[in-house]
């Protein structure tokens, strides 16, 4: 080792102390300490590395430099990468911080080995956090002071504290704990408390809800849509051991070919569906089936003249969202604002919808949002255009577009927002109370749930009723999100 410099040991108080790392790194950079002279350690590891050091005060190897704020592109990745369990994460981040002073554009060089490694670590952490939000399964535990929910989870990285706010937001009215080997977190309804890791033997293994959840999982498992590779990619096997539904997967998979064959052979059961809402035999049906991607489908929708609504609306409003969206929402029809902007759910009802997604931490960009009817139906009143409910003929005329959106996106779950959407999806007049809280089947076989239209919440005059309905609406969407695996 170069005798000119002595090593400086920096011991962080915990493995996920990102803020502490940045504070220490800023001080070191201000001293001009070069990355090779720093040895980072965490908690107990510090003691084990004591003999590396000669005990002399740190020797600056770089010229003292004025503080420079690291670019956001670095900070975004580093905040996550520092939660990785890799032992080189602090060296890497400090080296990059140091290099960024001389090379401020370094982060745009994706081929640089340090930049590439930072990106790799950050991605792994993001994935681990996502898996934790998706696969934690709480079990109910009766206590002297009421019900508590406890989950056991085994993350790969130091993500418990960083992921806890997600659970606090989602389960704010429950008391819960998530136990993991590295750290535990508890929410008592008021504050989050972090603690050391736990032993799996302290975690409960079953509860009364579990049987219900397993029955549910069995019921929504669609053998005709089974894609084992995609399923294990999304839900890696290492998580299965802590998921009550996991031991159903093998028998359901084995039975899938026979069940899918049975489904194909079965005659359609709902005669009323065909009689009432047979898709219009119009240009729309032909053009819809020809569109083989969402962009060409949207272009065809824009030219639709299958019913009279096109004569008065500004434009047709196709659905929007990614082609592989696991979750699709179907509203009624564009409103005044949507008609002008050409995008679904951007007006007042859209704001309610967006608030629900935000509350549940669902990114709108990840879901597909559409309408049963693509043109705005309204009645002119003075300067205003007053929304008018679409009729059966308009719903039927638009049905081919909606069906094709479903065929292209193939969502894992569709949510009908309101009775018009439920009617369009089920092909029969459908009062919402008849279908809410049930899982039905949308065209193409995707499971479907139904909830109120967001504009219903806007119309409720009573504040308490509004609050109660809002809660139910959130529950419905949350359930849909869970079923879709998003
Ligand atoms: N209401 C709907 O049903 N859809 C929209 O896009 C906007 C309001």
Nearest to residue 452, comparing CAs of 319, 349, 343?
A: 349
Mean pLDDT calculated for residue range 64-90: 88
Q: What is the pLDDT of residues 126-181, one digit of tens each?
A: 999 999 998 888 888 877 877 888 889 999 999 999 999 999 988 888 888 999 99
Q: Is the CB of 331 under 6 A from ligand 1?
A: yes
> What was the pLDDT predicted at 91?
97
SS3 labels along the chain = CCCCCCCEEEEECCCCCHHHHHHHHHHHHHHCCCHHHEEEEECCHHHHCHHHCCCCCCCCCCCCCCCCCCCHHHHHHHHHHCCCCCCCHHHHHHHHHHHHHHCCCHHHCCCCHHHHHHHHHHHHHHHHHHHHHHHCCCEEEEECCEEEEEEECCCCCCCHHHHHHHHHHHCCCCCEEEECCCEEEEECCCCEEEEECCCHHHCCCCCHHHHHHHHHHHHHCCHHHCCHHHHHHHCCHHHHHHCCCHHHHHHHHHHHHHHHHHHHHCCCCCHHHHHHHCCCCCHHHHHHHHCCCHHHHHHHHHCCCCCHHHHCCCCCCCCECCCCCCEEEEECCCCHHHHHHCCCCCCHHHHHHHHHHHHCCCCHHHCEEEECCCCCCEEEECCEEEECCCCHHHHHHHHHHHHHHHHHHCCCEEEEECHHHHHHHHCCCCCHHHHCCCCEECCCCCEEEEECCHHHHHHCCCHHHHHHHHHHHHHHHHHHHHHHCC
Q: What is the pLDDT of residues 304-363, one digit of tens each?
A: 988 889 988 999 999 999 999 999 999 999 999 999 999 999 999 999 999 999 999 999
Q: Which residue has the tokens 């005329």?
A: 397
Strand partners, 176: 149, 187
The domains of the chain are located at 2-130, 136-202, 211-261, 279-484
| Closest atom of ligand 1 to CA, residue 348 | 8
pLDDT digits (tens, 9 = 90+) for 197-208: 888 887 777 665
CA of 336 to the centre of ligand 1 (A): 9
User: At residue 214, does pLDDT exceed 80?
Assistant: no
438 CA from centroid of ligand 1 (Å) = 23
Q: Is the CB of 333 inside a 6 Å radius of any atom of ligand 1?
A: yes
Ligand 1 atom nearest to CA at 453: 3
- Percent over 70 (pLDDT), the chain: 85
How far is the centre of ligand 1, averaged over its atoms, from the C-alpha of 345 (Å)? 5
| pLDDT band, residue 86 (cuts 50/70/90) | very high
Amino acid 452: pLDDT:
96
Give domain 279-484's CATH number out of 2.10.260.10, 2.60.130.10, 3.40.470.10, 3.40.50.300. Answer: 3.40.470.10
Q: Tell me, using a 6 A CB cutoff, whether residue 245 lines ligand 1.
A: no
Closest atom of ligand 1 to CA, residue 343: 6
pTM: 0.49
Cβ within 8 Å of residue 44, ≥6 positions away: none
How far is the centre of ligand 1, averaged over its atoms, from the C-alpha of 375 (Å)? Answer: 10
Q: Which two tokens stand for residue 440?
A: 């039905």
Q: Is the pLDDT reported for residue 121 higher than 70?
A: yes
Mutational pocket test of ligand 1: of 321, 347, 372, 450, the residue with most ligand atoms within 8 Å of the beta carbon: 347
Helix axes 72-81, 113-135, angle to 10 degrees: 60
């Amino acid at each position: 080792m170069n005798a000119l410099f002595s090593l400086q040991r920096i011991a962080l108080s915990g493995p996920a102390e990102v803020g502490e790392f940045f504070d220490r790194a800023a001080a070191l950079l201000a001293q001009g300490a070069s990355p090779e002279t720093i040895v980072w350690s965490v908690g107990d590891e510090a003691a084990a590395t004591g003999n590396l050091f000669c005990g002399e005060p740190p020797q600056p190897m770089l010229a003292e430099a004025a503080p420079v704020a690291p670019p956001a592109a670095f900070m975004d990745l580093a905040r996550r990468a520092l939660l990785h369990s890799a032992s080189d994460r602090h060296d890497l981040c400090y080296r990059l911080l140091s290099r960024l002073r001389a090379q401020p554009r370094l982060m745009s060089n994706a081929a640089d080995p340090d930049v590439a490694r930072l990106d790799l670590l950050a991605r792994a952490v993001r994935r681990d956090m996502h898996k934790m939000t998706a696969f934690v399964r709480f079990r109910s535990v009766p206590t002297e002071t009421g019900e508590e929910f406890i989950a056991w989870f085994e993350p790969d990285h130091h993500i418990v504290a960083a992921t806890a706010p997600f659970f606090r937001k989602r389960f704010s009215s429950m008391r819960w704990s998530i136990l993991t080997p590295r750290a535990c977190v508890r929410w008592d309804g008021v504050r989050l408390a972090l603690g050391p890791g736990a032993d799996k033997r302290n975690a409960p293994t079953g509860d009364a809800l579990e049987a219900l959840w397993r029955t549910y999982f069995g019921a929504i498992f669609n053998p005709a849509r089974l894609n084992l590779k995609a399923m294990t990619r999304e839900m890696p096997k290492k998580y299965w051991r802590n998921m009550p539904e996991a031991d159903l997967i093998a028998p359901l998979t084995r039975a899938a070919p026979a069940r899918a064959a049975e489904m194909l052979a079965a005659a359609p059961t709902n005669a009323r569906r065909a009689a009432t809402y047979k898709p219009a035999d119009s240009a729309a049906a032909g053009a819809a089936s020809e569109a083989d991607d969402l962009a060409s489908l949207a272009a065809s929708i824009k030219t639709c003249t299958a019913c009279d609504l096109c004569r008065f609306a500004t434009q047709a409003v196709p659905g929007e969202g990614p082609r592989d969206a696991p979750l699709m929402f179907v509203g009624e029809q564009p409103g005044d604002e949507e008609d002008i902007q050409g995008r679904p759910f951007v007006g007042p009802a859209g704001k309610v919808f967006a608030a629900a997604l935000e509350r549940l931490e669902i990114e709108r960009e990840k879901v597909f949002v559409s309408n049963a009817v693509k043109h705005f139906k309204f009645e002119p009143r003075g300067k205003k255009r007053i929304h008018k409910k679409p009729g059966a003929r308009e719903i039927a005329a638009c049905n081919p577009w909606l069906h094709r959106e479903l065929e292209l996106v193939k969502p894992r779950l569709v949510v009908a927002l309101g009775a018009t959407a439920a009617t369009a999806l089920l092909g029969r007049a459908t009062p919402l109370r008849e279908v809410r809280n049930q899982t039905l089947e949308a065209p193409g076989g995707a499971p479907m749930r139904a909830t109120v239209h967001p504009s219903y919440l806007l119309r409720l005059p009573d504040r308490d009723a509004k609050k109660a309905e809002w809660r139910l609406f959130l529950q419905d969407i949350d359930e849909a999100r869970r079923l879709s695996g998003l």
